[in-house]
Amino acid sequence: MTSSADKAEPKKSETVQEDFSQADLSGESQVADSDTLKTNSIENEAPLEPSVEPDDADNLKPEGEELRGQLLRVMAENENLRKRTEREVVAAKKYGPLSFARDLLASLDNLEKAISLIPENKSEMDETLKNILVGVDMTGREVVSVFERHGIKKINPDGEKFDYNLHQAMFDVPTNEVEPGTVVQVVQVGYQLHDRLLRPAMVGVSKALKNESSASAED
């Protein structure tokens, strides 16, 4: 015979299985509901609008072009400044001693005058005086050598064509022996530092001499 307890046990197991199946169904329904909610929320979301309006983008174009133009101008100014600075540095190195050299010219003139007065025959002179004159001559040669080494050149245009950039005419010399406008006498030599004039050469310039016949015809 089957007891009442045996009959009750299958009923319990059936009840437990029904509970599990209902729980599964409820879980699946909850998952489906959540998916539906997500889908609806995505569909209901408004599309993202661009952060920049079309009109604003059009306004940014000329501003960008203006900034680019300003940048190019600044770059060009910097390049010009760099080149100008390089030229000034080169000129400062090249022509820096111009004022100093110009102040030394008078001393050099006196030294050359002293050297020009030294007699060639020194055999009858006192030994001490002879040594002094030799030292003065050597000093003058050394000073001229130093000047030339630093780009200071002497202008002695005797017999050359007159150049108003380098010479200063002090007087005219009427003569037909040379072409008119020729330097026939140098009163004082000039100097130049590279291509800059320190002092023009003081010169006398030839002038065409009128013939006596042409002079009498004019009279």
Domain boundaries, the chain: 63-95, 99-150, 154-210
Task: Tell me the average pLDDT of the chain.
Answer: 77
Contact of 92 with 194, CB cutoff 8 Å: no
The predicted structure's pLDDT at residue 212: 53
Judge whether residue 16 has pLDDT over 90: no
The predicted structure's pLDDT at residue 200: 95
Range scoring the smallest mean pLDDT among 4-13, 26-35, 111-120, 127-136: 4-13
Residue 163's pLDDT band (cuts 50, 70, 90): very high
Better pLDDT: 165 or 7: 165
CB atoms inside a 10 Å sphere around CB 200: 20
The string of pLDDT tens digits covering residues 48-91 is 455 545 555 566 677 778 888 888 999 999 999 999 999 999 88
The predicted structure's pLDDT at residue 11: 46
* 139 Cβ contact partners less than 8 Å away, ≥ 6 residues apart: 111
Give the tokens for residue 52: 């920049």
Contact of 142 with 163, CB cutoff 8 Å: no
The predicted structure's pLDDT at residue 56: 56
Judge whether residue 27 has pLDDT over 60: no
Homologous superfamily of 154-210: Head domain of nucleotide exchange factor GrpE (2.30.22.10)
Q: Identify which of 105, 115, 117, 118 has the alpha carbon closest to the alpha carbon of residue 202.
A: 105
